[in-house]
Amino acid sequence: MAGAKKKGGSATKTGSASRSRPAGRKGKAAKSAPAAPAFSPEEELHAYREMLLIRRFEEKAGQMYGMGLIGGFCHLYIGQEAVVTGLKMAIEEGDQMITSYRDHGHMLVCGMDPKGVMAELTGRRGGYSKGKGGSMHMFSREKNFFGGHGIVGAQVPLGAGLAFANKYNDNGRITLTFFGEGALNQGQVYESFNMAALWKLPVVFVLENNRYAMGTSVTRSAAKSEELYNRGSIYGIPGEPVDGMDVRAVKDAGERAAKWTRDGNGPIILEMLTYRYRGHSMSDPAKYRTREEVQKMRAEHDPIEQVRTRILDAGLAGEDDLKTIDKEVRAKVSEAAEFAQADAEPDAAELWSDVLLEATAQGGN
């Protein structure tokens, strides 16, 4: 376990109400958990590159915010990279993701173009929402990324609805619905759990427990905060805590969860024990936790360092090879940043577009 929290019990927890449960790794999920299944060399290098892209992208976004190029809110994903990276590796082409405002990492792993994401951050016409959405509101139907939502908790029923449509269309697709541990206290989350369980919707509820909702630690906001993965148990939804700092553990749990829900067993909850290094948004008093706590997480559990160390230890690549990857990633991010600064603001006429669609005689969209 990432040390994000101490946990006992089996890797797969489920409410007593559910009779069947997904096949989980046996043994303790806590510190004593067995190492997650090893990655192939390709997987290690892929995960390294993906996570590094998110980190460098977010660092650049932070700098650009400081330069006044990005406005409003900007929630960085630094520290949580393993969650989306491992899960993306666990799902299939065509599966969907939906999340909150802390969405840059999700978009990058979905294969959205960093240029388009960065240009949305700067509010330019080449952004994914033509500059009209901003950091919190981006979408790509092509890449099966459904946003980008600013109201805490509201994306959870939306994710259940995407899953509902998948089941309705019987297309074999599943939906990963991400939300924070703060969002977990919204009533609509439980309304969604109930419907998803009742109708056996193909949805994985990915609870990104980074321990804080703005300045409120999880222990100050959630009853029984050490077992949030159990919050679906009264609906018979199985849940599992996962070391969200270890990309291998994330992928492993993600694969099992995806299979469980794709096989028609209904929803499942993965509690990703993770950590955000940066402030909630850009202005953050940083008084609600100690610098040491952050430093300790970075030093001992950094998701990228873990992979890097394994790559070097196993001789999958040398320092120079990793430097090359680093360089390539930096170049990609710089290119995005340049594009996002050079691109024009949206045309003034865009103020009035996209409010409603024209109705067609046949209906449908």
Residues that bind ligand TPP (CB under 6 A): 102, 150-152, 180-183, 208, 210, 212-214, 280
Residue 180 near Mg ion by CB under 5 A: yes
The rounded distance, in Å, linking the Cα atoms of 127 and 125 is 5
Provide the minimum distance between the beta carbon of 276 and Mg ion in the complex, in angstroms, as a whole number.
7
Degrees to nearest 5, angle at CA 52 with 47 and 57: 135
Report the residue number, 10 or 216, with the smaller CB distance to another protein.
216
Provide the minimum distance between the beta carbon of 182 and Mg ion in the complex, in angstroms, as a whole number.
5
Categorise residue 214: left if φ over 0, alpha if ψ from -120 to 50, beta otherwise.
left
Report the residue number, 74 or 268, with the smaller CB distance to another protein.
74
Report the residue number, 146 or 275, with the smaller CB distance to Mg ion.
275
The rounded distance, in Å, linking the Cα atoms of 154 and 119 is 25
Helix (H) / strand (E) element for 179: namely strand 175-180
Give the HSE-up count for residue 315: Cα atoms under 13 Å, Cβ half-sphere.
Answer: 0
Provide the minimum distance between the beta carbon of 234 and ligand TPP in the complex, in angstroms, as a whole number.
21
Provide the minimum distance between the beta carbon of 317 and another protein in the complex, in angstroms, as a whole number.
40
Residue 153 near Mg ion by CB under 5 A: no
Report the residue number, 10 or 186, with the smaller CB distance to ligand TPP.
186
Q: What is the CA radius of gyration of the chain?
A: 20
Record the tokens describing residue 46, joined without a space.
């892929």
Paired sense of beta strands 216-217 and 212-213, if any: antiparallel
The rounded distance, in Å, linking the Cα atoms of 123 and 20 is 48
Residues that bind another protein (CB under 8 A): 71-73, 120, 123-125, 129-137, 149-153, 182-183, 185-187, 213-216, 220-222, 285, 287-288, 345-346, 348, 350-352, 355
Provide the minimum distance between the beta carbon of 156 and ligand TPP in the complex, in angstroms, as a whole number.
10
**Residues within the interface to Mg ion (CB under 5 A):** 180-182, 210, 213
